[in-house]
Structure 1
């Protein structure tokens, strides 16, 4: 997947800042964590992954909670993400129904993500969201899950199920947590994932068009306009609709597609192509306000 992977530059995402802080965390700081583990704060700040809290338990496991937490942080510091995930998973298991479990599970998600164990990170994130739906870190858990799907988006010729799941999660973050620090990056990556989904529809639509299966092709291009008209593929979709409708002899819809294309993208090479195709048949762009194309396409781009 070219577009999504190329845009995964760390400077664009809050995860990069989180990782950077992990890497800068010194061994001395990790050992000193136990001294600060008595903090009374209930909220676990995902950008302050080194804060610790000490909780009393009726049954004391073999390894104290703060020791397990510190061991996990030490492994993160040395980029032993697999080892860190195991330590945080132990914390999750040994201290059920406690704040340590909540912290351990979230740190497990983060460690698995850093290890590129994306399916494991997705499963752990889902568990965290199920157990702690009102957690102050719920947006962060959703973001990690979305990023785990996003980093597995394949090239446009393959199934785009992961792109669809990433898009759904990023959309939820933007809608439910618009003021979170993950909203801006989620909005950007939502557009990348949607562009990928539109690209898949265009690929299939072009195939049908080349096979002269015009009805099937139109359905694919229609999907692009209905769901992904703010992506870069909307221009070509309108031109391909002009082409397909001309082939079927449905000139009214062909003229409407070209007119809508010209209205929204007057300088587009796709409009020049659509206009030329109409002229070759003695036609010109003309929008029928009753056409589904006119109704489906929002002239004010950015509202789709």
Structure 2
């Protein structure tokens, strides 16, 4: 088996700062600064008594989140707004801030639950695109190592695709696309890991089936070049030379400068053959389908 280290997935993009979120949710009371905020709210949390003004509770939550850096305490304030004033505009704003606060404390399932509730209850809100993005980001930040189950990766991609589909002009659509690219690369890496294992066990049919997933579903990822070379290798081992020649030819046509093409070329030449594309091969059809071939 030709060895060449597979490159690791790129670092995942960051997440919007709280200043931006607070700008989305303006408060009625204009708070002058940290010192006046401290005197207004006190150094300790106020007891949550009945019928406290919604704006006071909300602003206390913003203060705890933004100035005190206490998202867990902020959640209590935001949830109290919803409890005491469930049908107010403050409750709507507090629900989104609750989701963000949970995200900040890495309580992702709670963040997803609050954000989904926001999307369901307030589909016409100008901030619903952010809530949907927050769902995807919460799944995204839980993406596991490629050796483990990738359900969260798939859910992240699905949720982020909703942002692009429903809110294509929102400021979160571009961020969603970047995260989707990383997620898809991660799924391709998972397939490659399993396929290489099959190759080590001499299960070339099993390996081909996994490499085929990369070529047909994830061919815009960086893993497709190695997948085509490995297909060349597997087919040569099985004596299916026409498919080996096609895999090498498609790799050379689309990625002529790839080091993986050099390996594939040498494999085919080592068998006394040349890369030659069979237009009827599934490999050729797969690339023509997306316009790469």
3-state secondary structure, aligned to 2:231: helix
Counterpart position of 2:59: 70
Q: CA deviation at 1:50?
A: 3.3
After TM superposition, the structure 1 stretch with the greater mean CA deviation from structure 2, 131-140 or 238-247, is 131-140
* Structure 2: distance between partners of 1:63 and 1:51: 16
Counterpart position of 1:266: 256
* Structure 2: distance between partners of 1:5 and 1:61: 50
Q: CA deviation at 1:90?
A: 1.5
Counterpart position of 1:100: 90
3-state secondary structure, aligned to 1:297: helix
CA contact (8 A) 1:46 1:140 kept: no
- Normalised by the size of structure 2, how large is the TM-score? 0.84
Alignment of 1:21 with 2:57, yes or no, is: no
Q: CA deviation at 1:19?
A: 2.6
Q: CA deviation at 1:207?
A: 0.5
Q: CA deviation at 1:20?
A: 5.1
CA contact (8 A) 1:50 1:73 kept: no
Q: Structure 1 residues 89 and 5, CA, compared in 2 at 3 Å: closer, same or farther? A: farther
Q: Deviations over 1:181-233 (max 9, x none)?
A: 11111111111111111000000011111111111111111111121111000
3-state secondary structure, aligned to 2:27: coil
| Alignment counterpart, residue 8 of structure 1, candidates 13, 16, 21 | 13
The aligned runs of 1:136-285 (5 Å cut-off) are 136-285=126-275
Q: CA deviation at 1:3?
A: 6.4
Q: Deviations over 1:44-77 (max 9, x none)?
A: x864333349xxxxxx952111111011111112
* Structure 2: distance between partners of 1:197 and 1:293: 20
Q: Structure 1 residues 289 and 166, CA, compared in 2 at 3 Å: closer, same or farther? A: same
CA contact (8 A) 1:4 1:193 kept: no
3-state secondary structure, aligned to 2:24: coil
Gaps of 5+ in 2: 1-6, 30-48
- Normalised by the size of structure 1, how large is the TM-score? 0.81
Alignment of 1:87 with 2:77, yes or no, is: yes
Q: Deviations over 1:85-113 (max 9, x none)?
A: 12111112222233222111111001111
Q: Deviations over 1:256-276 (max 9, x none)?
A: 111110011001011000111
Q: Structure 1 residues 74 and 5, CA, compared in 2 at 3 Å: closer, same or farther? A: farther
Q: CA deviation at 1:123?
A: 1.4
Q: Structure 1 residues 4 and 95, CA, compared in 2 at 3 Å: closer, same or farther? A: farther
Q: Structure 1 residues 3 and 250, CA, compared in 2 at 3 Å: closer, same or farther? A: closer
Q: CA deviation at 1:6?
A: 2.9
Aligned length in residues: 267
